[in-house]
Amino acid sequence: MPHDETPVTDDYIRRGDWNPLWDQIRALDPQFIEAYLRFRDVPHRHGPLPAKFKELILVAINAATTHLYAPGVRRHIANALRAGATREEILETIQLTTVMGIHSVNLAIPILAEEFGKFTAEGASR
């Protein structure tokens, strides 16, 4: 493939699956984003899961507390609906994704208890 051809990138743009955040890297290094999209596409094009489930997974990834990318949630919900997902399946996907938020509590509460214990012990020794 000649250096200036980007058929996978062009396909993403044509399908409406292009993330505008990729515009800058595309301008700087179109072959990098082309290689990334080829890598990213392997499970989408060759994996055993039906398109509906792949889109539901992408809804979950984009809605996750570690990502929170609304345009991706919107795009993949639309794709999931087109692939046959029901409103209830998408809602359940979103509901299951919210479980990830509990990890923030699991991490932070013991640290709070530890630090508060140190703080109060220091105050008592003053």
Task: Quick: pLDDT tens for 64-97.
Answer: 988 889 999 999 999 999 999 999 999 999 999 9
Does residue 125 share a domain with residue 110? yes
Does residue 40 share a domain with residue 57? no
Does residue 126 share a domain with residue 66? yes
Q: What is the pLDDT of residues 21-53, one digit of tens each?
A: 999 999 999 999 999 999 999 998 899 999 999
What pLDDT is attached to residue 126?
61
How many domains is the chain partitioned into structurally?
2
DSSP state of 16: T
Q: Which residue pairs from 49-53 have beta carbons closer than 8 angstroms and sit at least 24 positions apart in sequence? A: 50/83, 51/79, 51/83, 52/80, 52/83, 52/84, 52/85, 52/89
Task: Copy the structure tokens of residue 10.
Answer: 């062009």
Interacting residues of 63 by C-beta distance below 8 A, sequence separation 6+:
73, 93, 94, 97
What pLDDT is attached to residue 119?
93
Q: Say which CATH number the domain at 120 has.
A: 1.20.1290
- Name the domain boundary from 48, 63, 78: 48
Q: Can you tell me the distance from the alpha carbon of 57 to that of 59, in angstroms, rounded to the nearest whole number?
A: 5
Report field, pTM of the whole predicted structure over 0.85: no
What pLDDT is attached to residue 56?
97
What pLDDT is attached to residue 104?
76
Does residue 73 share a domain with residue 42? no
* Owning domain of residue 114: 49-126
